[in-house]
């Protein structure tokens, strides 16, 4: 029993790579190292023992959690905690192992009770962002979700977000190529397609503004040309009117000069 208890105490206090909090394949606080340790301790113990029994119960709770059976996992953890709280030993190494395991399982039990509700809220948040076409924000939120691998709903969301990212980036590339060809209509259409899928697609909004500005500049050039022609024609018409009036006035003056000797 001492060898198993010493092994328990040693492994429970070893920090995980990259930090002190252990994580399992389901990304929970109870790590893979601890889950494996529980099974090893349980197998190493000879005869019934509260510490060994608690290890078996906690290992099974981890298995249930990895299957998304959260309520059952909580019940098994609750039983494991009861066994650990009743554990007594004059061996300091066993007491230390039991205390370390008890502390970790209490944290895990608390987190596990709130896990289903937390995952539901995170799923709803991702759905809202996807519906708003804020795909990059949805992707960032998904990266923060600590869900077990059995949570296929998040796998489906990741696939949908990835599909929309790929499609929007494809249209951004098409738009950029169209701009290089000075094909303003094709560029505008491509960037609008990208934004229709993902309003946060990198380069989509900027490209669309550029395409619209170039198209607007072309129309403005046409307007200026038309106004210039109208101005020229208007100026010519006014000049012709001025000449006619001037000639008419000159004729009247001449006539008055001819008549005056009479």
Give the pLDDT confidence score for residue 115 in this predicted structure: 94
The listed range with the strongest mean pLDDT (38-42, 228-232, 256-260) is 38-42
Q: Does residue 125 surpass a pLDDT of 70?
A: yes
What are the Cα distances from residue 157, in Å, to 122, 131, 172, 201?
A: 11, 12, 22, 17
pTM as predicted: 0.62
Q: Does residue 25 surpass a pLDDT of 90?
A: no
Dihedral sign for Cα atoms in the order 16, 21, 25, 27 = negative
**Higher pLDDT pick, 243 / 257:** 243
Render pLDDT for 174-200 as a digit per residue (tens, 0 to 9). 999 999 999 999 999 999 999 999 999
Give the pLDDT confidence score for residue 91 in this predicted structure: 81
Q: Which pLDDT band, with edges at 50, 70 and 90, does 89 fall under? A: confident
**Higher pLDDT pick, 83 / 216:** 83
Give the pLDDT confidence score for residue 97 in this predicted structure: 86
Indicate the average pLDDT of the chain.
75
Dihedral sign for Cα atoms in the order 136, 141, 143, 149 = negative
Tell me what the mean pLDDT of segment 13-28 comes to.
Answer: 35
Q: Does residue 129 surpass a pLDDT of 60?
A: yes
CA angle 4, 109, 104 (to 5 degrees): 40
**Higher pLDDT pick, 248 / 116:** 116
Render pLDDT for 40-57 as a digit per residue (tens, 0 to 9). 454 444 434 788 889 999
CA distance 183 to 180: 8
Residue spans of the domains in the chain: they are: 2-114, 152-256
DSSP state of 132: T
Residues 34, 16: contact at Cβ < 8 Å? no
Q: Does residue 111 surpass a pLDDT of 50?
A: yes
Q: Which pLDDT band, with edges at 50, 70 and 90, does 34 fall under? A: low
Q: Does residue 221 surpass a pLDDT of 80?
A: no
Measured distance between the N- and C-terminal CA atoms of the chain, rounded to whole angstroms: 151
């Amino acid at each position: 029993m001492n060898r198993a208890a010493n092994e328990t105490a040693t492994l429970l206090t070893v920090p995980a790579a990259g930090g002190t909090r252990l994580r399992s394949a389901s990304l929970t606080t109870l790590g893979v190292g601890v889950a494996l340790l529980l099974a090893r301790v349980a197998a190493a113990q000879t005869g019934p023992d509260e510490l060994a029994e608690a290890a078996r119960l906690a290992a099974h709770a981890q298995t249930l959690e990895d299957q998304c059976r959260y309520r059952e996992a909580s019940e098994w953890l609750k039983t494991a905690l009861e066994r650990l709280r009743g554990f007594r030993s004059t061996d300091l190494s066993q007491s230390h192992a039991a205390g370390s395991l008890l502390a970790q399982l209490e944290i895990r039990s608390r987190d596990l009770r709130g896990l289903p509700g937390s995952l539901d809220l995170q799923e709803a948040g991702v759905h809202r962002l996807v519906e708003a076409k804020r795909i990059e924000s949805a992707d960032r939120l998904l990266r923060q979700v600590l869900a077990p691998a059995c949570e296929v709903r998040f796998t489906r969301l990741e696939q949908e977000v990835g599909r929309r990212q790929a499609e929007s980036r494809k249209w951004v590339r098409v738009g950029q190529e169209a701009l290089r060809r000075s094909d303003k209509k094709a560029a505008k259409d491509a960037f609008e397609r990208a934004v229709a899928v993902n309003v946060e697609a990198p380069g989509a909004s900027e490209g669309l503004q550029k395409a619209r500005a170039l198209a607007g500049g072309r129309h403005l050039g046409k307007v200026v040309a038309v106004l210039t022609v109208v101005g020229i024609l208007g100026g010519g018409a006014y000049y012709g009117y001025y000449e006619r009036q001037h000639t008419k006035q000159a004729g009247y003056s001449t006539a008055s000069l001819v008549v005056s000797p009479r």
